[in-house]
Amino acid sequence: MSDRFSRRVFLLGSAALAMTAPRALAQTNDLYGGAMDAGTNDGSGGLWYDPAQLPPAESPEDFPIPQANLNKIPAQFHRQLVNYSGPEWPGTIVVDPANHFLYHVQEGHLAIRYGVGVGRAGFAWSGLAKVGLKRRWPRWLPPKEMVERDPNARKWINGQPGGPDNPLGARALYLYANGQDTFYRIHGTNAPDSIGKSMSSGCIRMLNQDIAELYLQVPKGTQVVVRTSDGSAISLIDSSAAKIDSSAGQGQDIGTPQ
């Protein structure tokens, strides 16, 4: 790629269609895809994985969904119905990294709120995307940088089969922008203690039982809004357009329990 996008925040300054107002669209980024530099890994300068592995396959076996022990997870990160003050239309997924929450917006100023794990420092991102692909027990292709630094990831260079030991967990929603895979996901996890923490490589982690429920609720094409890492609203392309509720800024929770 000719442009190098920041892992911290990437916003597209061209026309982007949202249901409430035009906003920045998440762009594709080469953390999870792209050509290897000459001299790295095999030195060929070619792709480091077999392109035939994309889109990732589902597991041929539909494993039972493991239930996390909620007694070990703080109560605020349990699935719950909350009042919702944001402007998004029902059906929208809103991720609030500052508070480690994901909202599935409902009718009547309500939302189902889930606790999530988000990107650690240097890997966080924000923007708009859509659910472009859904997978059950998906195959995982490790990021290029992880392949280069982690021998365990290197053995899965062409993908780890889906299953209970797979880092993507039970289900995955693949985020697209402008019709292209951003290589960011909302997915399950085999590490439930990561919920409520900032320790991923940029993707949004959910408990397996939570992503399994969300997977059934959202169709392809669902809009996804990922707020900035400090909890502030996503900047709008058109400054005259309706602003996102300022109560969501500065890390304040935009949803309150019923």
Task: Catalogue the active-site residues.
Answer: 187, 203
**209-213 long-range Cβ contacts below 8 angstroms, 24+ apart:** 209/65, 209/66, 209/67, 209/68, 210/79, 210/114, 210/115, 211/169, 211/170, 211/171, 211/172, 211/173, 211/186, 211/187, 212/65, 212/170, 212/171, 212/188, 213/79
| DSSP string of 61-109, one letter each residue | S-PPPPPP-GGGS-GGGS-EEEEE---PPTT-EEEETTTTEEEEEETTT
The angle formed by the CA atoms of residues 245, 247 and 248, to the nearest 5 degrees, is: 80
